[in-house]
Amino acid sequence: MAIQVCYWKARNGVDHSSLPLFKSIDRISNKYGMPTSEYDGLMKICLHYGVLCAGPDMRDNTDSKAEAKNLKMLTEFVASTFPYLVPEPAIKERCMYTVTPDNQFIVDHHPIHRNIVFGAGFSGHGFKMAPVIGNMLAELVQGGKPELLVDELRASRFDKKSKL
């Protein structure tokens, strides 16, 4: 999946580092944002979904109409919710991530080769879970049953006919 990552400039006199970290979920979309250290004075605000693409080598061949619609929705959200931000993104980038059918990651043993463990399909929220996932994988490698591992994260939750 390719998402548009947008960075919004704080209006004059606003310290971007004091801006809030947030997540907003409504019946139409799932948005998140945070002050960023990637670009001084900017706040990162994105939709937690984007447009499907065939693979990383095809990331620039996406549905431009869907991207424009997503950007319009995000711009309207910023304009109506954050009066201390300039309502047009200062920088737009594209981010790629894998998405599982249920938008949750997979932490499990390989179904045939039990000496292989893996974590995959982090659906855009793996980075913030890295310490916990690392702990789960380490416990699996050592032959233990991770305290936090739940069946909902196992690969076996998907139909055998699935591409996963």
Within 11-86, strands assigned E span 22-25, 30-35, 42-47
Provide the pLDDT for residue 162.
Answer: 55
pLDDT < 50: residue spans in the chain: none
Provide the pLDDT for residue 146.
Answer: 81
Give the residue among 105, 100, 121, 125 at the shortest CA–CA distance from 46. 125
- Global pTM? 0.72
- State pLDDT tens for residues 110-143: 988 989 999 988 877 777 788 888 888 999 999 8
Assess contact for 96 and 20: CB atoms under 8 A. Answer: no
Provide the pLDDT for residue 37.
Answer: 80
Provide the pLDDT for residue 151.
Answer: 80
Give the distance between the most distant pair of CA atoms in the chain. 59
Q: Based on the number of CB atoms within 10 Å of its own CB, is 104 exposed (0-12), middle (13-18) or buried (19 or more)?
A: middle
Query: Rounded to 5 degrees, what are φ and ψ at 5?
Result: -100, 120
Provide the pLDDT for residue 164.
Answer: 52
Provide the pLDDT for residue 21.
Answer: 84
- Which tokens sit at 83? 């009066």
